[in-house]
């Protein structure tokens, strides 16, 4: 319940707890006995929320989402990206490529990354000059602890002759994640207003959006596209217009493989039959193939065959065998 006027500050009044959020007093019923549920679905949900909060902290400087009512841009990021975060046995994981830094609804071509002479060359995999006037690139290094560290960002205002908005960064080496989103001014006045700001990078854009100096009425933002280039690779995998990206992830207790690529992701021609295989470790049994971030099981068989028509993100889940030899509870 929102309270206007007669209650201010924070604290407890009889059985009502009063707090402040966004300058508004919020009253909640006092709960003297707070439970700490520990069923596996609840443990997994807490793990997902924790990872989402950690991602929001790491990406906070470049989250281009404006506050909506009492919901901050950072909390919008968490809500928007929760579907991409899965958890098994209390361990949460996410495919960085799926994360969204914007509230855009228009698509952007895939991101191509190549390495040469200690430089990273990033560009779109297909022209987007007709739908965007600039592309924002953000480079993160994935360190040995699998956490993200911001390397830098650039705003490419020139599409180039090929319309791919090419940009160059120093290569931090190792695993690198690149995020990209496009922008397009909706009026001459919006372009003029943008020109009055000293916008240098994605952090500047995020600040302007967060403070509503740039709004949805000024600029059209695309969805965010992510791409990863791993240590030792000279070129990342990205789909052409006739391909679909396939991601496979192993939950706790097993491993996964695909007959069309090595590793955990690859670009596959649309219409191709793909077989993914899950192999449980000792003392684990296979639970099923699920759409990552959901409880939607697509197959109970360790080997799952499907036709690649669109981007597909799958996770194989496993159950730990109980000491008595039976299967554990399904995750």
Q: What is the pLDDT of residues 227-236, one digit of tens each?
A: 999 888 899 8
Residue 329 belongs to some domain of the structure = no
Instruction: Assess whether 56 and 139 both reside in one domain.
Output: yes
Residue 327 belongs to some domain of the structure = no
Taking only the tens place, the pLDDT of each residue in 155-193 is 999 999 999 999 999 999 899 999 999 999 999 998 888
Taking only the tens place, the pLDDT of each residue in 274-305 is 999 999 999 999 999 998 767 789 999 999 99
| Sheet strands (E) in 197-308 | 219-221, 225-229, 243-250, 254-258, 265-269, 272-280, 284-291, 297-299, 303-308
Confidence of residue 6 (pLDDT cuts 50, 70, 90): very low
Residue that is written with structure tokens 């006045």 in the block: 189
Residue 325 belongs to some domain of the structure = no
pLDDT at 331 over 80: no
Confidence of residue 328 (pLDDT cuts 50, 70, 90): very low
pLDDT at 241 over 90: no
Instruction: Assess whether 201 and 61 both reside in one domain.
Output: yes
Q: What is the pLDDT of residue 18?
A: 55
Confidence of residue 23 (pLDDT cuts 50, 70, 90): low
Instruction: Assess whether 230 and 139 both reside in one domain.
Output: yes
Instruction: Assess whether 101 and 220 both reside in one domain.
Output: yes
203 against 22, higher pLDDT? 203
Phi and psi, residue 271, nearest 5°: 90, -5
Nearest-10 crossing angle of helices 40-59, 73-81: 130
Q: What is the pLDDT of residue 301?
A: 97
Instruction: Assess whether 248 and 158 both reside in one domain.
Output: no
Kindly give the residue spans of alpha helices, DSSP state H, lying in 150-289: 188-196, 202-210
State the total domains in the chain: 3
Instruction: Assess whether 18 and 56 both reside in one domain.
Output: no
Q: What is the pLDDT of residue 4?
A: 47
Euclidean distance between CA atoms 164 and 184, whole angstroms = 15
Instruction: Assess whether 300 and 152 both reside in one domain.
Output: no
Taking only the tens place, the pLDDT of each residue in 198-237 is 899 999 999 999 988 888 888 999 999 999 998 888 998 7
In angstroms, what CA-CA distances link 168 with 57, 152, 290?
26, 11, 37
Residue 87 belongs to some domain of the structure = no
Instruction: Assess whether 60 and 202 both reside in one domain.
Output: yes
What is the pairing mode between strands 312-320 and 243-250?
parallel
Q: What is the pLDDT of residue 229?
A: 92
Domain boundary (210, 236, 262) is at: 236
Q: What is the CATH number of the domain that holds 275?
A: 2.60.40
Domain extent, residue 190, equals 40-82+93-236
Q: What is the pLDDT of residue 89?
A: 77
Mean pLDDT of the chain: 86
Confidence of residue 81 (pLDDT cuts 50, 70, 90): very high
């Amino acid at each position: 319940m929102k309270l206007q006027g007669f209650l201010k500050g924070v604290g407890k009044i009889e059985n009502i707890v009063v707090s402040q959020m966004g300058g508004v007093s919020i009253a909640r019923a006092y709960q003297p006995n707070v439970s700490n549920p520990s069923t596996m679905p609840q443990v997994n949900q807490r793990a997902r929320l924790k990872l989402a909060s950690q991602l929001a902290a790491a990406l906070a400087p470049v989250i281009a989402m404006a506050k909506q009512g009492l919901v901050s841009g950072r909390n919008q990021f968490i809500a928007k990206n929760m579907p991409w975060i899965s958890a098994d046995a209390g361990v949460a994981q996410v495919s960085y490529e799926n994360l969204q830094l914007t509230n855009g609804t228009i698509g952007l071509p895939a991101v191509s990354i190549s390495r040469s002479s200690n430089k990273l060359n990033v560009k779109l995999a297909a022209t987007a000059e007709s739908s965007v006037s600039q592309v924002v690139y953000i480079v993160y290094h994935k360190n040995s602890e699998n956490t993200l560290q911001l390397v830098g960002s650039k705003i490419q205002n020139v599409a180039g002759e090929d319309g791919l908005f090419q940009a160059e960064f120093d290569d931090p080496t190792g695993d690198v994640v690149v995020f990209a989103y496009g922008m397009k001014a909706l009026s001459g006045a919006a372009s003029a207003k943008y020109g009055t700001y000293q916008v240098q990078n994605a952090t500047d854009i995020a600040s302007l959006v967060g403070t509503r100096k740039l709004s949805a009425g000024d600029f059209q933002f695309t969805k965010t596209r992510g791409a990863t280039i791993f240590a030792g690779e000279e070129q990342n995998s990205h789909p052409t217009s006739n391909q679909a990206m396939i991601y496979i992830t192993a939950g706790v207790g097993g491993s996964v493989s695909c007959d069309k690529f090595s590793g955990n992701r690859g670009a596959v021609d649309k219409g191709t039959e793909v077989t993914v295989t899950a192999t449980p470790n000792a003392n684990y049994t296979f639970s099923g193939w699920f759409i990552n971030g959901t409880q939607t099981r697509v197959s109970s068989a360790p080997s799952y065959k499907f036709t690649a028509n669109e981007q597909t993100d799958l996770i194989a889940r496993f159950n730990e065998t109980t000491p008595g030899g039976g299967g554990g509870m399904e995750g």
